[in-house]
Amino acid sequence: MGYLRLGETIDATKNIIVTFYVESEVSLTEVAESLAAESSIGTWTDISTMREDIMNRLGARIFYVNQEESVIKIAYPLELFEERNLPQLLSDVAGNVFGMKDIKNLRVRDIDFPESYVRKFDGPAFGLTGIRKFLGISDRPLLGTIIKPKVGLSADEHALVAYEAWLGGVDIVKDDENLSDQDFNPFDERLYKTLKVKEKVEKETGEKKMYVPNITAPVSKMLDRAKLAKSTGCGVVMLDIITVGWSGVQFIRDQNLGLVLHGHRAMHGAFTHGNRHGVAMLPLAKIARLAGIDQLHTGTVVGKMHGAAETVIETNNALKGDWYGIKPTMPIASGGLHPGHIEALVNILGNDIIMNFGGGIHGHPDGTYKGARAARQAIDAVMEGILLPEYAKTHKELDNALLQWGYRKSSDSESKVANTYQFNFT
């Protein structure tokens, strides 16, 4: 009773299909058999308790093997999976299989879900369209900043930096992934003080702003912080979705608090880095969307984080595309960005994106306020179809940013783009 079913027609409406990349010193079909067994109903040897009816109903089916590319596809009958249970899903298809001796490298490249499985999930409460409505911004990319330094500022200092960023044109201010409830910056105090300056700057600018406090913690504390954010009118919270775990994400979403859920992917690189081992960002993004994440970090292409253009585009498309009634999740580009990157980001990733700047705003030679103005000016330039060096001639904050990060040389009177930041967008 083997699992190999090459050429068999698979009913995609009744199976979850997983695409694996596999490296092994044994033959690909042999290791595929072991992988299919371990991730569904089998074990390492023949057993007397296995019945033909169990195998026919629940056994995984290896229906595609590409020897040259070391890729296999396995179909898992839906009956194997509990409804709305993402931890159990991953325990099946990405669990013990990573510990098998015969496998040298293994990567979950993609997971395709049938409609009947997807429709059991609520998905994002707001999604991409809801976030735009929240802020009253219909077309341009959203501009965000992470308060820097990551940790170390007091609640008062944190609020002041947020105020300067918002005043300079930032739409979204968020905590960094490792700021929670430390003694030097208590969560409750930071929340109240930052929301107070948010209200002030909204009156001064006439623009709606968003603050994203990090509620990452054990589940009971997360819920308390989420409820506090809701009661103060914050409207948005951030979870470190990998370290919190899918149970934690689903739990917060299931409370139906009416909060936008911002998904930070801290620790994802332990699984997604490279292309030969681990779990790719694409299936993780799909799972995050199922779990109810409204906006998710996916990569920058041009920043400091790992992620090729093709990979990030594919992931973003999976978040934004039609998916059996599940609202689209808004992608976030974050990590090592500065205003000189904005033209490339828009050309590569489009307008439906949140661009998060940390050092690229707070590292501006004239401070946070001018750094925020520079980033907003860069977005305005791109939306108006004007090259950044040209726009910078009449916008000093942007000009200083381009000089600061080497986008143009100070000796170049014509402000031509430095070769380092020339991209092929085709």
DSSP string, 300-350: -SSSSS---HHHHHHHHHHHHS--TTPPPPEEEEESS--GGGHHHHHHHH-
| Cα dihedral across residues 4, 13, 106, 90: positive or negative | negative
Summarize the confidence of residues 256-262 as an average pLDDT. 98
pLDDT digits (tens, 9 = 90+) for 400-418: 999 999 876 655 444 333 3
pLDDT at 419: 29
Closest C-alpha among 102, 94, 3, 70 to residue 286: 94
Using CB atoms within 10 Å of the CB of residue 48, give its burial: 0 to 12 exposed, 13 to 18 middle, 19+ buried: exposed
pLDDT at 377: 98
User: How many Å apart are CA 354 and CA 335, to the nearest integer?
Assistant: 12
pLDDT at 304: 63
pLDDT digits (tens, 9 = 90+) for 324-359: 999 999 999 998 899 999 999 999 999 999 999 999
Please check whether residue 206 is in contact with residue 171, taking contact to mean a CB–CB distance below 8 angstroms: no
pLDDT digits (tens, 9 = 90+) for 291-304: 999 999 999 888 66
pLDDT above 90 for 7: no
Summarize the confidence of residues 226-255 as an average pLDDT. 98
Polymer length in residues for the chain: 426
Summarize the confidence of residues 34-45 as an average pLDDT. 88
pLDDT at 410: 58
Q: Whole-angstrom distance between the N-terminal and C-terminal Cα of the chain?
A: 49
pLDDT above 90 for 44: no
pLDDT at 409: 62
Please, which pLDDT band fits residue 420 given cuts at 50, 70 and 90?
A: very low
pLDDT digits (tens, 9 = 90+) for 86-105: 999 999 999 999 999 999 99
In one-letter notation, the amino acid at residue 167 is L
Strand 15-24 to strand 103-112: parallel, antiparallel, or no bridges (unpaired)? Answer: antiparallel
pLDDT at 214: 98
Report which secondary-structure segment, H or E, holds 414: none
Residues designated catalytic: 148, 264
Please check whether residue 166 is in contact with residue 371, taking contact to mean a CB–CB distance below 8 angstroms: no
